[in-house]
Amino acid sequence: MTLKRVVVTGIGALTPIGNNAKEYWDNLLVGKSGAAPITRFDASNFKTQFACEVKDLDLDNFFDRKEGRKLDLFSKFAMIVADEAIADANLVSDKLNVERVGVIWGSGIGGIITFQDEVQGFVNGGGIPRFNPFFIPKMISDIASGHISIKYGFRGPNFSLVSACATSTNSMIDAFNYIRLGKADVIVTGGSEAAINESGIGGFNAMHALSTRNDDPKTASRPFDKDRDGFVMGEGAGALILEEYEHAKARGAKIYGEIAGGGLSADAHHITAPHPEGFGALNVMRSAMEDDPSISAEDFDYINVHGTSTPLGDIAELKAIRGVFGDHAEKLNISSTKSMTGHLLGATGAIEGIATLLAVKNDIVPPTINHFTNDEGIDPTLNLTFHKPQKKEVKVALSNTFGFGGHNASVIFKKCEG
């Protein structure tokens, strides 16, 4: 069969450095840090007392009180960005075959705020079971895709998946495959996460995964820096409208770029640590490249790396990039936008996919900020786009995301021609 072409016709973003896609992109280019002391709860007894929270968001502008009580924060984030992306793509339900419009959404953790609140209420209430009737529908991680489809009447493929921090890239890849196989015309895809609460911060602290640079939060997320000491927790959401190319052309949709491939792999090594030689990362990038035989390693201009600011992960990923791209790796721009947004866990692939897509569209690479000291374990010949964005033609770009459990996902964006 002839596979369909898949393009992106709408985007939406809600991030620690911008509450819509334009604000997010503009602040990436000026190198803004989203890290600050935690405001959601009293973190004074925690090893980590800061995070990258969404800021200045009045949820009352989006949800009435009755509706809001039925939604965990991760679902609210999902609805906000889905609305933005659907409006951006000018998707009008009465002009679509809604049987062929789907929603594939992801969250690495789901309703952890709801879960904690309900369990605390049970314990504080002396063990008397007075649970909210919306407890389960608020908590389950698939509910965001259900809410989006219900609001808009989209009756196509609808599900959620979980692959930890690779979740929303995995969601994009599934959406890409459903469309190119002819199973849908349009899919709303992406991910959302809202895990900045006592359980989220405390749990990751117990794993020694988070930075504890409480004296200087804004510079705590420092990928590739010698003194990096862990990632910074972020929250938010990103949405992309994926659409079959001819369908998009027929309705006169604007096109941001084309998805050229998506790869999935497993490290099969450790529950939290990457393979030290980056074998899973190497395999997933090669897998993504197999989807479009017209693209070779030498055609790539930019990689938005997973780059979490952990001692092991940053080095392993760069080893994998060298293994895949060889000498061409030195001609690539590489950057970690987590240096600005922090790590949005299951939503990270969506917002980083948007950053990668906009780099292709606008021919500019966002920077890696917070680099102060070279790490002798980092290849000095690689261009990690430190401090400032770099203007260059970006025809083909790659976005990597890797998750606990050894889950790896990579997606390729390219300029749309023809």
Catalytic residues: 165, 306, 343
Query: Cβ of 75: how many Cβ atoms within 10 Å?
Result: 30
Give dist(CA 348, CA 338) in Å, integer. Answer: 8
H or E stretch including 36?
A: strand 36-37
Q: What is the number of alpha carbons within 13 Å of residue 411 lying toward its C-beta? A: 33
> Contact, 188 vs 86, CB < 8 A?
yes
Beta strand segments in 78-233, E: 101-106, 158-161, 186-193
Question: Could you tell me which of 273, 272, 353, 269 has the C-alpha nearest to residue 315?
Answer: 273
CA distance 139 to 345: 17
Could you tell me the two tokens for 415? 């300029």
What's the half-sphere exposure (Cβ side, CA atoms, 13 Å) at 251?
20
Check the CA dihedral 349-71-88-52 and report its sign. Answer: negative
Run of H or E residues at 119: helix 112-124
